[in-house]
């Protein structure tokens, strides 16, 4: 009888130890431990990144949030800039669940139990919306020449919205910026050659041409051109226009059209004939 009681006592002690250690959860560095149910402070959950805690049976449960970075390819097409040019911006965002103590609780409330595809779709919706807002506030030339500013503005807007759902932005990589009119090619080539470019498209209606020339004034054509200087002339697809003539207006108000024709590369030397 004594032996039986001793065995039963040892079994009970072993069961208690097993039960205790099974409810003592250690949080690995690549996850967030979320304890829910009856928690202190009246909070809906308790979040831990690293460390360990005892999860009480019956009154508490636990799950993990994965901190693995999520790469998201974004192909934004047809977004309007400040001058109503439609631009295409392919880019890649790397996002993940935030480990900021003030933001982890948002992840526990809004992301716990969601599949990876659901979290990705949520992040995509936020990214598309914020990118359109930022692009609508910038000119085409600013988008091209100041990509660092573009990334900074997009990051700030996305980070603010991400924090509301418990996400964090890890990295932004904008691969390219292009517009349907081809002005990006003209602007890029103009900056590379360090020469102002006039963008022209003889296939468009007169109203469109006038709008293009007016827009070109903010895209490198504001400098005064002197006799002996040169000008690059391309169409809206970025192709050089040969045999083109440019009408110049002098400071005196006189209009001069007798210029040499542009060559095969769209380069026109400003010289009076």
pLDDT in tens, 83-106: 788 889 999 999 999 999 889 889
Q: Are 99 and 49 in contact (CB under 8 A)?
A: yes
User: What is the predicted pLDDT for the residue at 134?
Assistant: 94
Q: Apex CA 85: angle with CA 82 and CA 246, to 5°?
A: 110
More confident residue, 97 or 270: 97
Q: Where are the alpha helices (DSSP H) in the chain?
A: 2-23, 101-110, 116-135, 140-145, 147-165, 183-193, 206-216
Question: What pLDDT does residue 204 have?
Answer: 43
Per-residue model confidence (pLDDT) at position 92: 95
Query: CA 61, CA 273: separation in Å to the nearest integer?
Result: 87
In this prediction, residue 164 carries a pLDDT of 93
Q: Is 173 within 8 Å of 154 (Cβ atoms)?
A: no
- Phi, psi angles (nearest 5°) of residue 199: -100, 130
Contact 69, 95 (CB under 8 A): yes
Q: Give the pLDDT confidence score for residue 186 in this predicted structure.
A: 63
Q: What is the pLDDT of residue 178?
A: 82
Rounded distance between C-alpha atoms, residue 41 and residue 35, angstroms? 13
How many of the other CB atoms lie within 10 Å of CB of 157?
18
pLDDT given for residue 194 in this prediction: 60
Provide the pLDDT confidence category of residue 201 given band limits of 50, 70 and 90.
very low
Q: What pLDDT, on the 0 to 100 scale, is given for residue 206? A: 41
pLDDT for the residue numbered 125: 94
CB 185 within 8 A of CB 238: yes
Q: Does domain 70-179 have CATH number 3.40.640.10?
A: no
Higher pLDDT pick, 68 / 264: 68
DSSP string, 167-197: EEEEEEEE---EETTSHHHHHHHHHHHTS-E
Residue 54 has pLDDT above 70, yes or no: yes
- Position 222 scores a pLDDT of 46
Q: What's the pLDDT at 136?
A: 92
Q: What are 199-207's contacts with CB under 8 Å, separation 24+?
A: 199/234, 199/235, 199/236, 200/233, 200/234, 200/235, 200/236, 200/241, 200/244, 201/235, 201/236, 202/235, 202/241, 203/235, 204/236
Lowest mean pLDDT among 123-127, 192-196, 223-227: 223-227
User: Which of 21-30, 39-48, 71-80, 201-210 is predicted with the least confidence, judged by mean pLDDT?
Assistant: 201-210
Asked if the model's pLDDT at residue 6 lies above 70, the reply is: yes
Which tokens belong to 204? 């468009």
SS3 224: coil
The pLDDT of residue 223 = 47
What pLDDT does residue 8 have? 75
Greatest Cα pair distance in the chain:
124
Please write the tens of the pLDDT for every residue from 115-174. 999 999 999 999 999 999 999 998 877 887 788 899 999 999 999 999 999 999 999 999
Residue intervals in the chain for CATH 3.30.479.30: 70-179
Q: Are 200 and 209 in contact (CB under 8 A)?
A: yes
């Amino acid at each position: 009888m004594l032996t039986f009681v001793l065995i039963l006592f040892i079994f009970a002690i072993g069961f208690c130890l097993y039960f205790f250690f099974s409810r003592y959860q250690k949080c690995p560095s690549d996850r967030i431990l979320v304890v829910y149910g009856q928690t202190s402070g009246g909070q809906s959950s308790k979040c831990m990144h690293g460390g360990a805690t005892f999860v009480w049976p019956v009154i508490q449960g636990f799950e993990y949030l994965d901190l693995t970075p999520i790469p998201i390819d974004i192909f934004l097409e047809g977004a309007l800039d400040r001058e109503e040019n439609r631009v295409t911006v392919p880019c890649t965002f790397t996002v993940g669940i935030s480990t900021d103590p003030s933001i982890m609780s948002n992840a526990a409330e809004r992301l716990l139990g969601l599949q990876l595809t659901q979290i990705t779709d949520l992040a995509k919706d936020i990214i598309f919306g914020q990118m359109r807002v930022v692009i609508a506030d910038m000119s085409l030339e600013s988008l091209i020449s100041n990509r660092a500013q573009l990334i900074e503005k997009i990051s700030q807007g996305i980070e603010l919205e991400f924090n509301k759902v418990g996400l964090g932005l890890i990295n932004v990589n904008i691969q390219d910026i292009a517009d349907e009119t081809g002005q990006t090619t003209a602007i890029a080539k103009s900056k590379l050659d360090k020469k102002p470019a006039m963008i022209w498209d003889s296939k468009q209606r007169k109203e469109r041409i006038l709008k293009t020339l007016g827009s070109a004034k903010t895209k490198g054509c504001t400098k005064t051109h002197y006799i002996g200087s040169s000008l690059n002339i391309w169409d809206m697809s970025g192709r050089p226009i040969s045999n083109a003539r440019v009408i110049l207006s002098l400071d005196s108000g006189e209009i001069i059209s007798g210029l040499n024709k542009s060559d095969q590369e769209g380069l026109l030397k400003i010289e009076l004939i």
